[in-house]
Amino acid sequence: MDNWWFFPHLNAFLNGLSGVFLLAGFYFIKTGQREKHRAAMTTALAISAVFLTSYVTSKVVIGLDSVKFTAEGPVRWIYFFVLITHTVLAALITPFVLVTFWRALKGRFEVHRKLARVVFPIWLYVSVTGVIVYLLLYQLFPSN
Ligand code: HEM
């Protein structure tokens, strides 16, 4: 683990950064700046791909259950609620993010908009809760 200490911090950073681009992309489309929307969403997706690669690599080199959440009390329930909803939604939303992106690339903006209205808030939730899980586990309630 010692050699790979940076992975959780890097993963949380990438996760948060893609969330920033996601929010920027939303702002751009709501203010009619389509080209900037395209660029921001493409960047958010690219950062998410880098995140996923880094995340899987970290699980391979560090192991699956290296850090435990040891805090007691209500925060324990909050932590596991956030962790479980984050994990389940992350797995579910990924193919829909790709379809939403693909529809936009193909110029099918009517379908893109309909999908995006559902996909965007869930993707944002996944992004924000990724950072919350990191903060709870590594910064606010570290086990050692
Ligand atoms: C997965 C990445 C993307 C997400 C999550 C996303 C999200 C969104 C959202 C939330 C809206 C506003 C929907 C509404 O009206 O409430 C929207 C609209 C739009 N997006 Fe994206 N977007 C993505 C990628 C792209 C890309 C790559 C392009 C360009 C090729 C694009 C072009 C547009 C356009 C033109 C609209 C306006 C559609 C209309 O009003 O008819 N989007 N998108």
pLDDT tens, residue order, the chain (144 aa) = 578 999 999 999 999 999 999 999 999 999 999 999 999 999 999 999 999 999 999 999 988 767 899 999 999 999 999 999 999 999 999 999 999 999 999 999 999 999 999 999 999 999 999 999 999 999 999 987
Query: What is this structure's pTM?
Result: 0.94
From 137, 6, 4, 129, select the one nearest 60 (Cα to Cα): 4
Side-chain half-sphere CA neighbours of 123 within 13 A: 27
Q: How many residues does the chain have?
A: 144
**Pocket residues: Cβ below 6 A from ligand 1:** 26, 29, 34, 37-38, 41-42, 45, 97, 100-101, 104-105, 109, 112-113, 116-117, 119-120, 123
Please tell me the number of Cα atoms within 13 Å of 137 on its side-chain side. 18
Q: What is the DSSP string of 1-35?
A: -GGGTHHHHHHHHHHHHHHHHHHHHHHHHHTT-HH
The CA 88 to ligand 1 mean position distance, Å, reads 24
Which sequence spans correspond to the domains of the chain?
2-140
The superfamily CATH assigns to domain 2-140 is: Cytochrome c oxidase, subunit III, four-helix bundle (1.20.120.80)
Residue type, 124: L
